[in-house]
């Protein structure tokens, strides 16, 4: 080997082994490994750095993780002026083959441990020069077939023992990420498939969902991983073949002109449409874009989805006083109220109720044509069409039973209306109906309590002002105090103490004390925080109160 190429190889390898030594210590310290995780290191890029005037002399950058386009986490090193004398021929014929051979030997030696290297490894070299516009670029990808086959066997064993097996056997929390991605990994396709089979992956996902049905948080976590894996397949394996990405910062693509793209693989299109439908509840905008891409790529099924939905629900209804349209694929409903009266809202509510009974997604967005613009007296709620519709409908007491029926069908833990962009104003389906009914009277207290026990207190905060609004509407007595306590417990984790607490008399304090007795310690602490700002502030208030009130307030801390 040429002496310059050999020197560069030795220098680069020394720096790489220093990096790998640090990474090995970190990887060896990981305790909870999934059996579906065969290794971490799967990428290496070495880049010659051109010196910059006024900057420290750096000659080589090494990336051991694929870098983001908008930032660099590369390790950088100074090697010396000799790097300018290394020619492209030396790099291609001597340095590059020798580097790949060393990497291959290191991977197969087991020296770095069983979890260090991934079964697939990609290596790149980029070597720019001052006088040339296009730098030398070399890349190679290799597969450790033995390790890959061991992972395939582990995946098959996992499916049989953790997914398709009878309860209580189920995956560990750390398994979901890797299982979801292996389901769509082209390296692990069943025999005879060119792309993952949507029927197979749907069946396996459904089996896992059934196992997690009694564990809502595990179920939600699995759905998130599944959606991310499906998106990853679409944007790594499918769309780049037929489309051009807008940029590195979004999922937006433009289908290539028909004469510049290959013929679309029917199996790949089938999976892509499946992905569009599955990601819809959590990624409605992305779903809409995917379906439009598919339509532009010639999919008639995508055209039908965009125009009429799945065909499994009542996509249109015309009543005496309203018109409604619904698309269950896009999860959109349009309501046009031709008159502003009880009959129009009854017909519209009946349509919404019937759609949910037919399996329409609870997470949907609404377009509303109505002249009325009522809103509930809850400041943090979004002023959305869904909010307006239910506030308008709640103007008619005769519709309360129908509104309650809708709410029972709509409520779902870890689900969200799509009436606003995901964020602090997102609310669980049924929110506007339930909160409005809760202000109307005791007839719907059980529904309100069920809502407060179901709502995701970790991620929803738009209902945090409801305790004060409830108290103003219905006051506190022996009947409303239990409901009031449930409302406080159902507040978001970031909820602040009420500006004015309603515990103003010894009787109200004693009523509260009776409701606190059966609660867990953390629940009692939460109630006292929301009402008084915490136990210490409560004690300070008690010291300033008259004797009877002081005694009643002090009892709340016992």
Q: Are 515 and 481 in contact (CB under 8 A)?
A: yes
The sheet with strand 316-318 has its strands ordered as 316-318, 322-327, 332-337, 365-369
Q: Sort strands 365-369 and 332-337 into parallel, antiparallel or unpaired.
A: parallel
Share of the chain above pLDDT 70, in %: 97
Q: Is the pLDDT of residue 54 over 90?
A: no
pLDDT for the residue numbered 282: 84
Q: Is the pLDDT of residue 31 over 90?
A: no
pLDDT for the residue numbered 248: 62
Dig out the tokens for 283 from the structure.
């990624």
Residue ranges covered by each domain of the chain? 3-143, 149-308
Q: Is the dihedral of CA 288, 432, 483, 357 positive or negative?
A: negative
Q: Would you call 43 helix, strand, or coil by DSSP?
A: strand
pLDDT for the residue numbered 249: 63
**Measuring CA to CA, which residue among 387, 427, 382, 432 is closest to residue 406?**
432
Query: What pLDDT digit, counting tens, does each position of 482-501 carry?
Result: 999 999 999 988 899 998 88
Query: What pLDDT digit, counting tens, does each position of 79-131 carry?
Result: 888 988 999 999 999 999 999 999 999 999 999 999 999 999 999 999 998 76
Q: Are 320 and 339 in contact (CB under 8 A)?
A: no
Q: Would you call 16 helix, strand, or coil by DSSP?
A: helix
Rounded CA-CA distance 417/434 in Å is 14
Q: Virtual CA dihedral for 204, 210, 212, 214, nearest 10 degrees?
A: 180
Q: Are 497 and 529 in contact (CB under 8 A)?
A: yes
Rounded CA-CA distance 339/439 in Å is 26
| 276 contact partners, CB below 8 Å, separation of at least 6 | 287, 290, 291, 294, 302, 305
Rounded CA-CA distance 545/122 in Å is 73
Q: Are 331 and 284 in contact (CB under 8 A)?
A: yes
Rounded CA-CA distance 406/432 in Å is 11
E-assigned strands of 30-164?
41-48, 60-63, 75-77, 117-127, 136-143
User: In this structure, what DSSP letter does residue 458 have?
Assistant: T
Give bridge partners of residue 41 from the DSSP assignment. 117
pLDDT for the residue numbered 281: 84
**Considering only 65-74, 269-278, 433-442, which range has the smallest mean pLDDT?**
65-74
Q: Sort strands 253-255 and 60-63 into parallel, antiparallel or unpaired.
A: unpaired
Dig out the tokens for 499 from the structure.
């500006």
Q: Are 326 and 293 in contact (CB under 8 A)?
A: no
List C-alpha distances in Å: 468 to 156, 457, 474, 488, 527: 55, 18, 10, 10, 14
**Measuring CA to CA, which residue among 296, 226, 222, 283 is closest to residue 251?**
283
Global confidence as pTM: 0.80
List C-alpha distances in Å: 443 to 389, 447, 451, 471: 21, 9, 14, 16
Question: What average pLDDT is seen over the chain?
Answer: 93
DSSP string across 375-435 = --S-TTS---HHHHHHHHHTT-GGGHHHHHHHHHHH--TT---SSS-SSTT---TTHHHHH
Q: Are 201 and 249 in contact (CB under 8 A)?
A: no
pLDDT for the residue numbered 384: 96
Query: What pLDDT digit, counting tens, does each position of 223-267 carry?
Result: 999 999 999 999 999 999 999 988 766 678 999 999 999 999 999
pLDDT for the residue numbered 432: 98
The pLDDT-based confidence of 134 (bands split at 50, 70, 90) is confident
The pLDDT-based confidence of 145 (bands split at 50, 70, 90) is very high
What's the gap between Cα 211 and its chain centre? 20
Q: Would you call 466 helix, strand, or coil by DSSP?
A: helix
Rounded CA-CA distance 185/10 in Å is 36
């Amino acid at each position: 080997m040429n002496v310059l190429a050999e020197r560069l190889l030795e220098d680069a390898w020394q720096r790489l082994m220093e990096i790998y030594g640090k990474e090995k210590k970190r990887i060896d310290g990981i305790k909870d490994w999934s059996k579906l995780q065969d290794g971490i290191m799967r990428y290496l890029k070495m880049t010659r750095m051109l010196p910059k005037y006024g900057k420290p002399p750096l000659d080589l950058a090494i990336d051991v993780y694929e870098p983001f386009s908008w930032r660099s986490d590369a390790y950088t090193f100074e090697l010396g002026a000799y790097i300018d004398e290394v020619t492209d021929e030396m790099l291609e014929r001597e340095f590059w083959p020798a580097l790949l051979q060393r990497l291959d030997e290191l991977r197969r030696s087991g020296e770095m441990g069983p979890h260090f290297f991934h079964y697939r490894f990609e290596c790149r070299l980029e070597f720019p020069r001052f006088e040339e516009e296009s730098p030398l670029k070399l890349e190679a990808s290799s597969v450790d077939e033995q390790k890959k086959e061991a992972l395939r066997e582990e995946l098959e064993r996992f499916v049989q023992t953790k997914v398709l097996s009878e309860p209580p056997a189920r995956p560990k929390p750390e398994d979901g990420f890797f299982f979801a991605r292996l389901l769509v990994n082209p390296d692990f396709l069943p025999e005879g498939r060119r792309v993952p089979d949507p029927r197979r992956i749907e069946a396996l996902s459904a089996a896992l969902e059934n196992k997690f049905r009694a564990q809502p948080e595990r179920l939600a976590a699995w759905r998130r991983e599944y959606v991310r894996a499906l998106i990853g397949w679409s944007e790594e394996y499918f769309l780049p073949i037929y489309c051009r990405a807008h940029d590195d910062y979004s999922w937006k693509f433009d289908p290539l002109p028909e004469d510049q793209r290959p013929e679309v693989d029917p199996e790949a299109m089938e999976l892509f449409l499946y992905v569009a439908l599955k990601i819809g509840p959590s990624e409605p905008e992305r779903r809409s874009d995917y379906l439009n891409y598919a339509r532009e790529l010639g999919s008639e099924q995508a055209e039908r989805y965009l125009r009429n939905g799945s065909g499994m629900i009542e996509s249109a209804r015309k009543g005496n006083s309203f018109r409604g349209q619904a698309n269950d694929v896009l999860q959109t409903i349009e309501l046009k109220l031709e008159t502003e009266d009880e009959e129009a809202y009854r017909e519209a509510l009946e349509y919404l109720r019937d759609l949910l009974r037919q399996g329409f997604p609870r997470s949907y967005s609404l377009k509303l044509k109505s002249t009325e613009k009522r809103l509930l007296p809850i400041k943090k709620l979004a002023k959305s069409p869904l909010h307006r519709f239910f506030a308008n409908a709640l103007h008619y007491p005769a519709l309360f039973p129908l509104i309650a029926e809708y709410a029972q069908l709509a409520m779902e833990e870890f689900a969200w209306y799509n009436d606003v962009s995901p964020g602090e104003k997102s609310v669980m389906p049924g929110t506007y109906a339930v909160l409005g009914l809760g202000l109307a009277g005791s007839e719907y207290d059980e529904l309100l309590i069920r809502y407060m026990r179901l709502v995701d207190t970790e991620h929803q905060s738009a209902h945090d002002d409801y305790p004060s609004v409830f108290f103003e509407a219905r006051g506190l007595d022996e009947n409303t105090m239990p409901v009031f306590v449930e409302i406080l417990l159902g507040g978001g984790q970031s909820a602040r103490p009420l500006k004015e607490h309603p515990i103003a008399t010894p009787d109200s304090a004693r009523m509260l004390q009776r409701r606190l007795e059966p609660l867990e310690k953390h629940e009692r602490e939460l109630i006292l925080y929301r009402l008084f700002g915490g136990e210490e502030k409560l004690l300070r208030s008690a010291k300033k109160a008259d004797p009877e009130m002081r005694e009643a307030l002090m009892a709340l801390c016992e």
